[in-house]
Amino acid sequence: MAKKTIADVDVSGKAVLMRVDFNVPLDDALKITDDRRITEALPSIKSVLSRGGRVILMSHLGRPEGKDPAADAKYSLKPVADRLKELLSNDVLFATDTIGTDAKAKAAALKDGQVLLLENVRFNKGEKKGEAEYVGVLATFGDVYCNDAFGTCHRSEGSMVGVPNAMGAKPKVCGFLVEKEIKFLSEAIAHPQRPFVAIVGGAKVSDKINVINNLLKICDQVLIGGAMAYTFALAQGGNVGKSRVEKDKLDLAKELLASGGPKLVLPLDTHCGDAFKGDCNKVTVKAGQIPDDYEGFDIGPETIAKFKTVIAAAKTVVWNGPMGVFEMPPFDAGTRAVAQAIVDSHSTSIIGGGDSAAAIQEFGMADKVTHVSTGGGASLEMLEGKKFEAVELLDDK
């Protein structure tokens, strides 16, 4: 069911309480190193401001677990407020608390055309538990609730579920980012153009078991890369040397191999090293034939060629998880080749957040694919086919 967006409600003269995902990376000097999550929220914020409304923003940053903002500045959203002011060229106020005296005063005094960012919601213990007093106060700040925080849509914390529920009959809508994420991750997967190919990488089979199971039901082929491939290789009786494996998940891997059949495409060869560094001694071997003192760090050239052929024929591609240690050349070759193959395929291409999103950004290809998700955990759960309470409670069109 399509959900109403911020564009569907009259915001003139109204306060829009908007949950965003400003969980941005900061360096030791508390400088933002990647502001993509802020820029992704700008269209929804600008939509309200341009139509005569005012915006009160809520977000988390890291996991402060209810600590005092003054005692742990690395979790404060103040650097985000400063960056947002630069990006908007607009008045952006900052409250030093979430539901305290400063937040209440600034929310009450906010004028149309202005933006207020509340301090990190996770500084308040009521956020995780969705405590009634906490969500009740936040609910009084807005005339309209807007969820534009896809990265936390799989969570049922106070600002995601408790606050909109406490707002009663007031409009509850999604922002443009959440609308876009739902469109690609949910609708494109429900009605894909075929062949539909999924590429699943990363370290652990256990992290992706539900995703792989769901994708095997709906995809034409599922390509497996990353360290999880070594668990599959071990399950098939292969030798994996010092490679990272989940020995307690071998039965699970065997079940997936049996249920996946020819749909499940495993690596043909492996690029290995004898130490975790780019200038180690290297060797490329057949899958399942890794020497005892070596570790698998990437897919090999035969696998790259095979994967490129499959991807080239695809009409829809979903990618979640790198093929190897993409941060450490030359073991970035497999991940880079897969990214380039996706770009070259001209398919509907959906990059499912997390390390895949980081890789495609690093390779300078993010603007050459159809959609790069902003939510790692959320995109995984949506690929599993899960429903999100934080989205379900929003008003239907």
Which residues are annotated as catalytic? 37, 204, 354, 377
Strands (E), 144-281: 144-148, 172-174, 196-200, 221-224, 239-240, 264-265, 269-273
In three-state secondary structure terms, 207 is helix
Position 348, amino acid: T
Strands (E), 175-252: 196-200, 221-224, 239-240
- Shortest CA distance to 224 belongs to which of 267, 259, 262? 267
Cα 147 to Cα 157: distance, rounded to the nearest angstrom: 13
Please, which residues have CB within 8 angstroms of residue 101's CB and are 6 or more apart in sequence? none
Are 112 and 54 within 8 A, CB to CB? Answer: yes
Are 350 and 375 within 8 A, CB to CB? Answer: no
Q: Which two tokens stand for residue 340?
A: 């380039």
Cα 361 to Cα 356: distance, rounded to the nearest angstrom: 9
Phi-psi region of 113 (alpha: psi -120 to 50; beta: other; left: phi over 0): left
Are 173 and 5 within 8 A, CB to CB? Answer: yes
Cα 168 to Cα 14: distance, rounded to the nearest angstrom: 16
Strands 316-320 and 196-200: parallel
Q: Which two tokens stand for residue 160?
A: 């995601």
Token pair 């005339």 is at which residue? 143
